[in-house]
Amino acid sequence: MKKNIPLAVILVIMLMTFHISYSQTKKTEITLTKLWETDTILKTAEAVRYHPGKDIIYVSNIGGLPPNKKDGDGYISLLSKNGKIVKHDWVTGIHAPKGLNFFNGKLFVGDIDTVVEIDVETGKIENKHPITNAVFINDLDIDTNGDIYVTDSQDEKIFKLVNDESSLWLDLKGFYPNGILVEDNRILILSSSKGELITIDKITKEKTVLASGVRGGDGIVPINEGYILSAFQGEIYFADKNMLNTPAIKLLDTRANKLNAADMSFIPKENILLVPTFYGNTVVAYKLDYK
């Protein structure tokens, strides 16, 4: 038996369908407003990481150039959340520290061909983990079980460090991997040459392009809506997590001010993006807002 559907019900269904369609297609609009910038006493600031438990920002300083020289003049600095230098030379004697992250009370730092392990409480270097066949470790991230993944930008590979044993995880010839972000089932890699942000399945190692157009790609920061990406020459982009193989949206361009944008970090509760400026020898904080 055929039933007639009331006009009011049809209108409600149409409005719900429109709302769902609009929500799926509406683009996230993000703005960045500068909050503070440190004094220029940092030396080739390459990466930052915010530690929520200590409310402190950790900065890796390469020191003198080139960034692959084993000269022992690299160091780690500590900053407060308002950009004040808490300890300029908290850890010294590292060659050219770059990517860094925390796990179980330790700070792990990529240093050319080694991952340096530092006790967060004492600032003491407790171990140095050589990465076999690594040439230029750039960034690193750590899985929830403590496995460490590092990008080798020069030799175009990803290595994995487990229980002090390193191994080749994936060869990425032609991609020049730089930024890395480890998620539950996949790993995100940002290319410094192709301008692509790709996802790699941890099991199958199948690759998917998430975003493009970030030439000189450097750092990856996850936010609720997707990812903030930095381009070394001084640009910052947004990639929507619900979009595949689409151009990233430029949020900021500091090239005219000769400020680079290297390996960033984020303070989630306050929506603050932290950007090391490399040759600018500073860290800059931006407030992330939505239109």
Q: What is the DSSP string of 230-276?
A: EETTTEEEEEETT--SEEPEEEEE-GGGT----B-EEEGGGTEEEEE
Mean of pLDDT values over 206-219 = 98
Which pTM does this prediction carry? 0.90
Under 8 Å CB-to-CB from 23, ≥6 apart: which residues?
A: none
So where are the chain's domains? 27-290
Residue 291: what pLDDT? 83
- Measured over the CA atoms of residue 206, residue 209, residue 215 and residue 216, the dihedral's sign is negative
Tens of pLDDT, residues 2-29: 445 554 443 433 333 333 332 334 467 9
Please, which residues bridge with residue 222 across strands?
227
Q: Which two tokens stand for residue 223?
A: 């936010």
Domain 27-290, CATH: 2.120.10.30
Could you give the CA distance from residue 169 to residue 281 in angstroms, rounded to a whole number?
Answer: 33
Residue 197: what pLDDT? 98
Question: In the chain, what is the straight-line distance between the N-terminal and C-terminal CA atoms, in Å?
Answer: 50
Tens of pLDDT, residues 191-205: 999 999 999 999 999
Q: Note whether 283 and 277 are within 8 A (CB).
A: yes
